[in-house]
Amino acid sequence: MELAVKLNSAPQNEYPIVIREGLLEEIGEHIEASSEGGNAGCGKNFIVTNETVKALYGKYFEGSNKNFSAEFIVIGDGEEYKNFQTYEFIVNELLARKIERKSKLIALGGGVVGDITGFVASSVLRGVDFIQVPTTLLAQVDSSVGGKTGINTRFGKNLVGTFYQPKKVLIDPKTLQTLDARQIKTGLAEVVKYAFIEKTASGKGTFGAFGVEFFDFLQNNNPAEHYPYIIAESCQIKANVVRQDEKESGLRAILNLGHTFGHALEKVTNYTEITHGEGVAAGIACAFRLALELRLVTQDYFNNSIALLEKLGLETKIPENIDRKAVYEAMKSDKKVRDTQINFILPSGPGEVTQRSDIGEPLIIKSLL
């Protein structure tokens, strides 16, 4: 199946999301087909990946198409490598290997690879084309779509980066077969986020892939049996938001449900103890507890939502060894803080969310169970 990401602010930057099992077996043809327009030409292609992913999927990029060739740039595996040092390493490798403006960068891997490759693509030679080939559930349903790129700093997550759209997103759901249960759960945290924002994202609910509300579908089905459609629905909901607000001047902020809490959790654990999805899942639960305290949601909706998180195997509480006060202090460095006020996306009803930045420290701390 194929979806399109359209941008009201820049219609010329529309790009496709192709979702098909077995797509990697014809990856060269898809990459060469993306050369229409933009920096089209025959410059060198470069694949940014890590050793784990290269060992699994590198073969598909070696001789996959007689007209396609690429050089690998291999970085460390993990969130802790999404930093200035890795950014500099990739840039230096590209310059040493004579990258040209007609070259393409291919991000092959999860969210870390996609984010940092996009950032490099947006800045090296003042911008070259890049293509997302996400191999994790989290990257397939979320980070590969929408054009957010960046790196982490000691002050917090994603504080340096750009908005820079890929030319194409190529998704092969078969790559999910190589993920362990923890990585699948990490992706499901972003999937369930879309169920909680669906109506606000589109004004009515998308229902594109199933004809039912996404929340209900996830309640009543096993995600493992429906990955292509779950990926498509998640991407469609995100595309609806990005189309209206590419650079997060308003509506796009709703995609941060659970992330203000989650990013703080990642920061205080040095990006090594919990995955991004684990932080987001716990953060969504915190957002629901805060919304319940503020009477934005009913007890029934709260109960059903926490039950859905638990049904998907997601942790709804912050690990006991994490200092709650430290988490609160980390939130104050979040890039979404305005006039020293922490900005939260909070549930306000089934499939709906709202923004709040008027919440005091005691309530925030109370939500950090």
Select which of 190, 198, 233, 352 is catalytic: 190
Pull the structure tokens for residue 191. 């999937």
How far out from the chain centre does Cα 265 lie? 17
Select which of 93, 198, 246, 248 is catalytic: 248
Select which of 168, 259, 267, 289 is catalytic: 259
- 156 forms beta bridges with 153
CA dihedral sign, ordered 161, 163, 167, 173: positive
Select which of 30, 82, 167, 263 is catalytic: 263
Distance CA 202, CA 156 (A): 30
Select which of 126, 220, 225, 295 is catalytic: 126
Contact 188, 313 (CB under 8 A): yes
Select which of 30, 104, 238, 336 is catalytic: 238
Distance CA 232, CA 52 (A): 26
3-state secondary structure 1-52: CEEEECCCCCHHHCEEEEECCCHHHHHHHHHHHCCCCCCCCCCCEEEEEEHH
Pull the structure tokens for residue 261. 């809490």
The yes-or-no answer on residue 238 being catalytic is: yes
Select which of 167, 168, 276, 336 is catalytic: 276
Phi, psi of 347 (to 5 degrees): -60, 145
Q: Phi-psi bin for 345: left (phi > 0), alpha (psi -120 to 50), beta?
A: beta
The yes-or-no answer on residue 259 being catalytic is: yes
The yes-or-no answer on residue 252 being catalytic is: yes
For the CA atoms of 311, 314, 320, 324, the dihedral, rounded to the nearest 10 degrees, stands at -120
Select which of 50, 152, 256, 343 is catalytic: 256
Pull the structure tokens for residue 217. 């579908």
Phi, psi of 299 (to 5 degrees): -65, -35
The yes-or-no answer on residue 182 being catalytic is: no
The residue among 300, 284, 281, 280 whose CA lies nearest residue 349 is: 300
Distance CA 19, CA 17 (A): 6
Select which of 168, 193, 252, 356 is catalytic: 252
The yes-or-no answer on residue 263 being catalytic is: yes
Contact 120, 99 (CB under 8 A): no
The yes-or-no answer on residue 256 being catalytic is: yes
The yes-or-no answer on residue 157 being catalytic is: no
Catalytic residue set: 126, 148, 190, 238, 248, 252, 256, 259, 263, 276
